[in-house]
Amino acid sequence: MNDLVRQHTALGDSDLEWLHLLVSEWQLLSDLSFADLVLWVPTLDGTRYVSVAQMRPNTGPTSYQDDMVGHLVPRGRRPLLDAALDEGRIVREGDPEWREEVPVRVESIPVRREGRVLGVIARNTNLLTVRTPSRLELTYLQSASDLAQMIAAGSFPFPGQQVDMDASPRVGDGLLRLDADGIVQYASPNALSAYHRLGLAADLVGHHLGTATAELAPSRGPVDEALAKVASGWAPREFEIEGGDGVIQLRAIPLKPKGPRIGSLVLLRDVTELRRRERELITKDATIREIHHRVKNNLQTVAALLRLQARRIDSATGREALEEAVRRVGSIAIVHETLSQNLDERVEFDEIADRVLAMVAEISPGKVTGRRTGRFGILDAEVATPLSMVLTEVLQNALEHGFQEGDTGTVEVSAVRGGTSKGGRLLITVQDDGVGLPEGFDPHRSGNLGLQIVRTLVEGEMGGTFDMVRAPERGTQVVLDIPVRGDK
């Protein structure tokens, strides 16, 4: 809609925002009218109309099989559009049109904002299935007429009341029609069922909705007065109440077709199961986070025990092996600590990489500094856990074998993400400026435990590739290429 309005019309940003607000609400008008809606806006030169939005009803058959958005029609071809735009009134004159052997009643509703008519809504009703209307349908049509008059007067939609139609109740979910005093004049079957689930034993018609709703809510006192006022439909509001065995979501829409409020529409939806599932998910998420937290604590306990054991061993080789195990356990604990703070099984790996780099740097035999460039981004837990161990092993190997006591140098970790939304690659390079690899060294055949762990995790568990070569100038370069999810 933005492109069409800016390309073909003279409307400004504030007018466009008003049209967006209208379009976010007009599913309500379409469903109440049992009609298709098409929004037409006059072009910059005033000789044509351009259709910028379209809505089909959920409550009846469509009268447009094709998409109308982007169509241009000259003035004069559709007289009802001209009359609504020029006279600023709802136009219903004329006989039904025939479209592919289907009779269609056409009405035009001017869209007014601050005294100016911005465009016209063409309301098209398929008359092929017309029959004697029920009480529900008559209530729908009367409510649609009131909303149409409010659009023509510029009092609907309500400024500052952007509605999420995916989350808000819809017409078919349940509808109540109130008079100006908040007395229920009509209640749809779905609306009655929702209130019965809250614990209402009687009928709603003839009762004050605010009072009845407040009596069903579990709280008492001043909250009841506020709830009673909101449920009476005096202002546009959305709220939820929980009582009995149910939870219902309500949306109040004041009706002011001629200025003063004549009543209200209240749309409502039974969201009991939805809220129950949300609570289950919250409980599940909390349980998963607690598990990660306990795993992290247990790993830290294991690391502490290994560290104590290392201090009691006289053998330098044995002590060094236990200290390596401590660092391996610590790298896994870092991942679980991060997962314990997240709502899903995904982690921002840059922080983990920095902590692993700092942890391994503590064993540096000289004054070796570490740094990271690029971004690892967000990784799944099944990638983050083995990758943290791989990074620990590679860094530990670089510091232990690339530098000697008193040496100065640098170890740099770089990460580059690439790919699409369906899949991508993570290219990691660890480079040091140490002594480099000995002659004839083959990283793929080395019996070093650390390199065996790296090969197993990268090639076996993560499905990536691993290589270790001499750096272009000095030192050693390790390259890891790992498949990851494409989002960063």
For the stretch 430-472, pLDDT in tens is 998 888 888 878 877 776 778 888 888 898 888 999 998 888 8
Tokens of 329: 């356990």
Q: Are the C-beta atoms of residues 458 and 385 closer than 8 Å to each other?
A: no
The rounded distance, in Å, linking the Cα atoms of 378 and 352 is: 11
**pLDDT confidence tier of residue 272, bands split at 50, 70 and 90:** confident
The rounded distance, in Å, linking the Cα atoms of 441 and 26 is: 71
Q: State yes or no: pLDDT of 41 exceeds 80.
A: yes
Reduced to 3 states (helix: H, G, I; strand: E, B; else coil), residue 354 is: helix
* Residues linked to residue 109 through DSSP beta bridges, in sequence order: 121
Q: State yes or no: pLDDT of 6 exceeds 80.
A: yes
> What would the pLDDT profile of 197-241 be if each residue is shown by its tens digit?
888 888 899 999 988 888 887 655 454 566 777 788 888 988 888
- Exposure on the CB side of residue 41, measured as CA atoms within 13 A: 27
CA 79 from centre of chain: 43
**pLDDT confidence tier of residue 93, bands split at 50, 70 and 90:** confident
Could you tell me the sign of the dihedral formed by the alpha carbons of 261, 17, 121, 136, in that order? Answer: negative
Indicate the average pLDDT of the chain.
Answer: 86
pLDDT given for residue 447 in this prediction: 64
Which one-letter DSSP state was computed for residue 119? E
> What would the pLDDT profile of 166-178 be if each residue is shown by its tens digit?
778 999 999 999 9
**pLDDT confidence tier of residue 4, bands split at 50, 70 and 90:** very high
pLDDT given for residue 421 in this prediction: 45
Could you tell me the sign of the dihedral formed by the alpha carbons of 449, 450, 451, 454, in that order? Answer: positive
Q: 398: Cβ–Cβ under 8 A, 6 or more apart, which residues?
A: 411, 430, 432, 434, 476, 478
Q: Is 233 left (phi over 0), alpha (psi -120 to 50) or beta?
A: left
- Opening angle at CA 294, ends 292 and 299, nearest 5: 95
Strands 48-55 and 36-42: antiparallel
Reduced to 3 states (helix: H, G, I; strand: E, B; else coil), residue 194 is: helix
pLDDT given for residue 165 in this prediction: 66
> What would the pLDDT profile of 306-363 be if each residue is shown by its tens digit?
888 888 888 888 887 888 788 778 777 887 787 777 766 788 889 888 888 887 777 6
Per-residue pLDDT, averaged over 408-425, amounts to: 78
Q: Are the C-beta atoms of residues 417 and 375 closer than 8 Å to each other?
A: yes
Per-residue b/e over 339-352, b at no fewer than 16 CB within 10 Å? bbebeeebbebbeb
* Residues linked to residue 412 through DSSP beta bridges, in sequence order: 371, 431
The rounded distance, in Å, linking the Cα atoms of 204 and 212 is: 8
pLDDT given for residue 419 in this prediction: 62
pLDDT given for residue 256 in this prediction: 94
Per-residue pLDDT, averaged over 68-80, amounts to: 93
